[in-house]
Each structure stands twice: as structure tokens, then as C-alpha cells.
Structure 1
Amino acid sequence: MDLARLQHLNKARVLVVGDVMLDRYWLGDTGRISPEAPVPVVKVSSLEDKAGGAANVAKNVAHLDGKVGLLGLIGQDDIGQTLERILESENIHSQLVSVTGLPTIAKMRVISRHQQVVRLDLEETFTQAHSRLLLEKLQQVIDDYDYVLFSDYNKGALSAIQEMITVAKAAGKVVLVDPKSSDFSIYKGADFITPNLNEFKLAGGEVKSEEALTVSARKLLAEAGVDAMLLTRSEQGMSLISQTEKHHFAAQVREVSDVTGAGDTVIATLTTMLGAGMDAKDAVEVANIAAGIAVSKLGAATVTPEELSQKLGQYLIENGEHYQAPLDDVHQHIAFAKRNGERIVFTNGCFDILHAGHVKYLAQAKAMGDKLVVGLNNDESISRLKGADRPINPLDERAMVLSALASVDWVIPFGSEAEGDTPAELIAQLSPDILVKGGDYKVSEIAGAEHVLSTGGRVEVLDFLNGCSTSNIIKKAQATE
């Protein structure tokens, strides 16, 4: 597997076309039955709006650092405006077409104690004429992208998909389809389709044996005029099948919390990896890993490059490679995590020679929240603080070692003489929920503490592990020379 391609995820230029919708969640506690009917009363304490359907596919691509555009249909209503604001905040270049007389599709759920009490669907099916409006928009923007991903939820936006695929292929684009129709022939010309097992059976696929599955899959591909199929098989994993090859990938063993949106994650990851230059087999392998991560989360979850990197750790070790998010992307990743409701923990240091005390300290810091950001003094800063003979290890090597730890999500260099070699400015930019510092400090002495407290966060001081220090390690090494 060419893991160096993980460094080129932002090279993927993907246009998602399909049925967009808003996922709305009302969350609250319930403690009594309504006197009006035998139903629970939920006292709503919060409201969450998220991109759904094809918009969630685009969100998955964006969170993997792909450059993504989105075409879809919305109504002329508040829900459509809300969806557009969400997409803008997710770094998705959306060009949604608003139509009169029909609402923006919305799935509204009432959640209490982690259980869905009821779901309310607001939707009407879009017509062929509406779909042709998307076809016109596709023709206008197609040259800006290399991959076209059709996300079909059978809501009408892709009624003209045969013509859309023809336009995309004529423009030399790679086409992927997450199908909903049992007639795969409407996807003629696509490079990949990604049905789940139930969709495969409805289309005429046989599953009584592995041989029957493979034969029927190839028959369906030939009849439909599609090059390859990525068949997602739930707990049985997934299979990449073409007329000449078949590769099977076992399901990733993780605790399943929610399978919502797993298919979105699969096709978004596959497309992004192809766009980064991976071959199909490797791209599917990464997509399979991404699916395992996604189903371990609640709701329609996304996967980050850092999460993939951690899960791919064995490959990384075997190949002597390591993924580090490009610095320009780190701030965007942190913003995504915040919007997902994750608590950001920040700590900082030189970490010149990583030792047991550092590892324990970083694990304790991570346990206080969901994501850990480590501010790392640059080489010039360490020289000013520790002396001209430091650092022992240069910045790039220190960052690589730190980011390989399971407890560390992001590493960001800092340090300027004008700022007194403190991370105060970096902390102000990130506004973490929790600021952690190791050693014998008062909160008032910690750089950035005032900002964190002023934004409603908290500051924690942790003890270092006795007997562990970089200076002691250096002295011991010098004594043995």
C-alpha cells in the first residue's frame, strides 16, 4: 500500500451530485408519560443540525481534506438556508439549486437517553424537470473536478442520472455511484458502483455461495455496462469485483455503535483515495478501515486522516512511513472536531527526547477530552530556552515521534522570541476547551490560561513522573561516552 498518498489527499477534486438533506436532532431527557397520549414527554435541551444524504458524503470528502463541490436540490425555505450555512462552514463548495413548491428534504429525530424516540420526515420527490436543472449545473462546473460521485437516495434529484453520467464520461471524469435503484443499467458508463448486500440482492445478485456471488456480480456489471463493483457486506466486510479481478476485505473488528452513514463514508473515502493517486485495491482497503471507524461512532460520522493513520499504524511501521497532516490543514481539522462536539485539549512542550514521563503525561491529558493538540517548540525556541546545544532532535523528527502516539491527534510548531517562546498566540487561535500544563505551576503563571478561562474552558496542572527528564537522559548518555 502506497501510504505516501495520504499526504496528497488535498489533490482529490471531487464533485458530489445527489439527494441532499438536513439531519435535525432534538435532544433531551424524558421522565414521564404524556397525559394526552401514551407517549414519552421529551424535554428538549439542545438542537443539532447536520448535513445529510449526499451532503454528508461531501462532508466526508471534506473531512479527508479532499477539495469537494456539491450539487443538489433544495426548497425555497429556512431548512435549505440552514443547510447551505452548514455546508459553507464545512469547507464544501456547494451550488444547490432551489426549486419552488417543494420543501428541502429533512429528517428530524427526537433523541432521549441515546435512543431515538421518533423520526419525522419532511420530503417530496423531485421531478425529472428538477433533475435536469442539476444536469445543466453539472455541465457548467464539470471541468473543475476529476471525479464525479453520484449519491442516490431515490428522492428524485438523480432522475436524469443516465445523461449526467454521459456528460461526466465525455469530459473524461472517473464516475462512482452509490446506487439506490435495483436496475443497475441506469448507471451505465460508471467506473464503480457501491451497493450494499440488500441492494445487490434486489438487483438480482446471488448470495448462496461465494462463487455464485462473484458470478452474479460480474453478470450484473456486464449487463449494466459498469466497470467494477464495491459490494459492502456488513459484518462480512466488502468485496471489490470486476470482470478480471476480485479482492475481499474482512470487516474491521470494532464495537459497532451506529451504522448510520457508513455507506457514505465508504464511497467518500474510496473516491478521495483514488483522487490522491491510490490504486483501486488500496483505496478500497482504506475505505474498509474507514467504515470500521465510522460505525464505532454515533450518528452519521466522518473519519479524519489522523484516525486513518492511527488505524493504519501497522502498515506505517512495516513500510517505514508516517502520516502527518499538512500544517495548513490542521486548523481546519480542529474546527471540524469542534463542530462535531468534541472537546479539544491543548498542551505544549519541547519533547526533545521522548520518555516515559512524557508518554504518561500526554495520555493523562488526552483522557480529559476527545482530541489532543500538542504545541511543539521549534528548534530556535528550544535553543533560546535550553542552550545552543539543544535540541538533540530536530523539529520534524520530534513531531513525527509525537504524532505516532495514540494519545496525540495533532502537533503544531510554535515559538518566537517576540512572544517569549510561549504558545499564548497559538492558544488564542485554537481556543481549546482544556489547557493542560505539567509541573509545579499556578494557573496564573501558565501562558494562555487567561484566554482559555475567558472562553469558558478550564486549566489543569499535572504532575510529572518522578525521575524522568530529558536533561537527566542527556547527562546519563554523556557519562557513558
Structure 2
Amino acid sequence: MNLANLQHLNKARVLVVGDVMLDRYWLGDTGRISPEAPVPVVKVSRLEDKAGGAANVAKNVAHLDGKVGLLGLIGKDDNGQTLERILQFENIHSQLVSIDALPTIAKMRVISRHQQVVRLDLEETFTNTHSRFLLSKLKEVIDEYDYILFSDYNKGALSAIQEMIAVAKSAGKTVLVDPKSSDFALYRGADFITPNLNEFKLAGGIVDSEETLTESARKLLQEAGIEAMLLTRSEQGMSLISASEKHHFSAQVREVSDVTGAGDTVIATLTTMLGAGMIAKDAVEVANIAAGIAVSKLGAATVTPEELSRKLGQYLIENGEHYQTPYDDVHQHIALAQKNGERIVFTNGCFDILHAGHVKYLAQAKAMGDRLVVGLNNDESISRLKGSDRPINPLDERAMVLSALASVDWVIPFGSEAQGDTPAELIARLSPDVLVKGGDYKVSEIAGADHVLSTGGKVEVLDFLNGCSTSNIIKKAQSTQ
């Protein structure tokens, strides 16, 4: 597996087309039974709105740093406006088409103590006429994307999917389909189709043995005119099957919390990895790992590049490769973590030659929250602060070493002469929950401390490990020459 492709996730240009919906959750505690009927009374304390259906697929691509657009149908209503706002925050390029007569599809759930009490569905089926509006829009925007991903929830948005696939293929695009229909011929021309085991059996697939499963899958592919099938098989893992090859991937052994949205994660990861340059077999292997991570979380969860790289640690060590979040994507990753309620810790420094004192200090900083961001002085900044013979190691090498530490989640360069080579501006932009500084400082002397305190955060000062310093290491090395 060539994990260098993980550094090119933002080169994946994906258009998701399909049935979009708004997932709304009312969450609260239950303490009594209603006097009006034998049902629990849920005292709602929190409301959450999330992208659902094909919109959740697009969200999965976006969280993997893919450049993603979304084409679907919504109503001219409040739910449609709410969904549009969510897409904007998630960095998804919305191409939604508003329909006058029908509502935005919404799934509304009441949750108490991690249990679903009731689900209310607000929906009407879109017609072929409505679907053809999407077809026209697809023709307008298709040149902006390399991969077209169809997410079918059987709500009518993809009634014209045969023509949509024909348009995509004539434009030279790679087409992937997450099917709902048992007639795979509807998806003729697709490069990949990703049914689950139940959908496979409804389409005529036979699962008596591995041999019959493979034979029936190849027959279905041939009859439908589809190149390859990624068959997701729950606890049995997943299989990539084409006319000439079959590769099986065992399920990742993890504690399963919720399988909701796992299929969305699989096809989104597969598409993004293909867009980043991975061959199909490797892209499926990563998608399998992503599914294992997703089902360990509650709800329709997404997976980040950092989570994938940590899980792929054994490959990173063997191949000498390491994933480092591109600087341009770090701010978006932090914003998503903050939205999920994670506690962000920030510290900064030159970290020119990493030593034991640094490692201990960073581990202590990480222990103060969920995620640690390290602001790293750029080379010009270090030269101004330490002298023209510094840094010893250039920015990218220092960032790579830091990001390889288990305690460090993200590295962001900074360093402006106008800002006095302090991270004050960066801290104001990130608004971390905890600001950590090492050494003998007063809080009032720490750059950015005023901002963190004003937003309700904490500022902590940690002692450095005695006898450890980059300057001492350099002097010692020079004395032995």
C-alpha cells in the first residue's frame, strides 16, 4: 500500500449525487411515563441537526479533505435552509435544487439515554420530472469533478440515474454507486457498485459459499454492465470483485457502538482514496479500516485522515511513511473537532531539535484536553529569534517529527515579524480551550493569553525538564567536533 497518497486527499474532486435529507435529533432525559398515554416523557435538553442521506456521504468526503460538491433535491422550506447552512459549515459545495411542491426529506428522532424513543419521517417521493432537473444540473457542473458518486436512498432524486451515468461516462468520469434498487441494471456503466449483503441477495446474489458468492457476483456484474463490486459483508468484512480479480478484507475487530452510516463511510472513503491516486485494492483496504473506525462511534460518524493514519500505524512503520495533515487543512480539522465538543489545547515553540524535555512537555500538554495543536515557528522567525545559523532543521522536517508523536494532533506554522514572532494572531483565530506555555512565565507575559482568558479558556505554565535544551545539545555537538 502506498500511503504517500494520503498526502494528496485534497486532490480528490468528488461530486455526490443523490437523495439528501436532514437528520434532526431531540435529545434529553426520561424520568416518567406520560399521564396521557403509556409512553415516556422526554425532557428535551439539546437539539442537533446533521446532514443525512447523500449529504452524509458528502460530509464523509469533506472530512477526509476531499473537494466535494453535492447535487440533490430539497423543498423551499426551513429544513432545506437548515441543510444548506450545515453544508456550508462542512465545506461542501452545495448544488441543491429547490422544488416548490415537495418538502425537504427530514428524519426526526427523539433520543433518551442513548436509546431512540421514536422516529418521525417527513418526506414525499420525488418524481422523474424532478430528477431530470438534477440531470440538467449535472451537465452544467460535471467538468468540475473527476469522480461522480451516486447515493441512492430510493427517494426519487435518482429516477433518471441511467441517463446521469451515461452523461458521466461520456465525460470520462469514474462512476461509483451505492445502490438501493435490486435491479443492478439500473446502474449500467458504473465503475463500482457497493451493495451490502442483503442488497446483494435481493439482486439475485447467492451466498451459499465463497465460490458461489463470487460466481453470482460476476454474473450480476456482467448482466448489469458494471466493472466491479465492493460487497460489504458486515462482520465478514468486505470483498472487491471484478471479472478477473477478487480481494477479500476481514472486518476490523473493534467494539461496535453503532452501524448507522457505515455504508456512507465506505463509499466516501473508497472514492476519496481513488481520487488521491490509490489503486482500487488499496483504496478498499483503507475503506474497510475506515468502516471499523466509524462503527465504533455513536451515530452516523465520519472518519478523519488523522484517525486513519493512526490505525494504519503498522504500515507507516514498515514503509517509513507518515501522514501529516496539510497546513491548509488544519484549521478546518480543528473547527470540526470543536464542533464535536473536543477540548483543544494549544502550545507553541521552535522545536528545532526534538529532545526528551520536549516529549515530556508535549505529553503533559496533551493530557489537559482532547487534541493538541502545536504552533511551530517558521524558519525566518527562528532566524530572527535565535540567529542566522538557526534553525538546524527546516520547517517541514520539524513538523514531520512533531506530528509523528502520539501526543500531537496538528502542527501549524506561524511567525510574522510584524507580530513580533508570536502566535497571538493564530491563537485568536483558533480560540483554544487551553493555552500551555513552558518555562518561567507569568500569565500576563504569554502571547495570546488575554484572548484565551476572555473566551473562558485556561492558561497553564509547565516546567521544562532540567538539563534539556536545544542550545545545550548544539553546544555539546560543537565541542566534540
Residue of structure 1 equivalent to 2:155: 155
| SS in structure 2 of the partner of residue 215 of structure 1 | helix
Deviation at 1:403, TM superposition (A): 0.7
Query: 1:64-75 counterparts in 2 under 5 A?
Result: 64-75=64-75
Cα 1:363–1:186 shift into 2, 3 Å: same
Which one is further off, 326-335 or 171-180?
326-335
Deviation at 1:134, TM superposition (A): 1.2
Residue of structure 2 equivalent to 1:217: 217
Normalised TM-score (structure 2): 0.95
Which one is further off, 149-158 or 118-127?
118-127
Given that residues 61 and 269 in structure 1 are in contact (C-alpha distance below 8 angstroms), is that contact kept between their aligned partners in structure 2? yes
Matched, 1:304 2:297: no
Residue of structure 1 equivalent to 2:267: 267
Query: 1:284-433 counterparts in 2 under 5 A?
Result: 284-433=284-433
Residue of structure 2 equivalent to 1:90: 90
Which one is further off, 133-142 or 25-34?
25-34
Given that residues 20 and 52 in structure 1 are in contact (C-alpha distance below 8 angstroms), is that contact kept between their aligned partners in structure 2? yes
Query: 1:245-284 counterparts in 2 under 5 A?
Result: 245-284=245-284
Which one is further off, 129-138 or 75-84?
129-138
Residue of structure 1 equivalent to 2:434: 434
Residue of structure 1 equivalent to 2:180: 180
Structure 1 residue runs of 4 or more that deviate by more than 6 Å after TM superposition: none
Query: How big is each residue's C-alpha offset from its partner over 1:380-404, in whole Å with a ceiling of 9 and x where there is no partner?
Result: 3333434444333222111001111
* AA of the residue aligned to 2:35: P
Deviation at 1:306, TM superposition (A): 2.2
Structure 1: which 5+ residue stretches go unaligned? none
* AA of the residue aligned to 2:238: M
d(CA) in 2 for partners of 1:461 and 1:427?
16
Residue of structure 2 equivalent to 1:233: 233
Query: How big is each residue's C-alpha offset from its partner over 1:297-319, in whole Å with a ceiling of 9 and x where there is no partner?
Result: 22212222222222222222222
d(CA) in 2 for partners of 1:359 and 1:207?
52
d(CA) in 1 for partners of 2:429 and 2:234?
41
Residue of structure 1 equivalent to 2:450: 450
d(CA) in 2 for partners of 1:367 and 1:108?
37
d(CA) in 2 for partners of 1:98 and 1:129?
13
d(CA) in 2 for partners of 1:381 and 1:175?
47
Deviation at 1:476, TM superposition (A): 4.7
Given that residues 266 and 291 in structure 1 are in contact (C-alpha distance below 8 angstroms), is that contact kept between their aligned partners in structure 2? yes
* AA of the residue aligned to 2:442: K
| SS in structure 2 of the partner of residue 260 of structure 1 | coil
* AA of the residue aligned to 2:170: A
* AA of the residue aligned to 1:31: G
* AA of the residue aligned to 1:458: K
Query: 1:452-467 counterparts in 2 under 5 A?
Result: 452-467=452-467
* AA of the residue aligned to 1:361: Y
Which one is further off, 385-394 or 222-231?
385-394
Query: How big is each residue's C-alpha offset from its partner over 1:189-212, in whole Å with a ceiling of 9 and x where there is no partner?
Result: 110000111111221212222112
d(CA) in 1 for partners of 2:471 and 2:229?
57
Deviation at 1:446, TM superposition (A): 1.8
Normalised TM-score (structure 1): 0.95
| SS in structure 2 of the partner of residue 57 of structure 1 | helix
Percent of paired sites with the same residue: 90
Deviation at 1:51, TM superposition (A): 0.7
| SS in structure 1 of the partner of residue 381 of structure 2 | helix
Structure 2: which 5+ residue stretches go unaligned? none
d(CA) in 1 for partners of 2:80 and 2:478?
66
Equivalences, count:
481
d(CA) in 1 for partners of 2:440 and 2:127?
67
Cα 1:111–1:441 shift into 2, 3 Å: farther
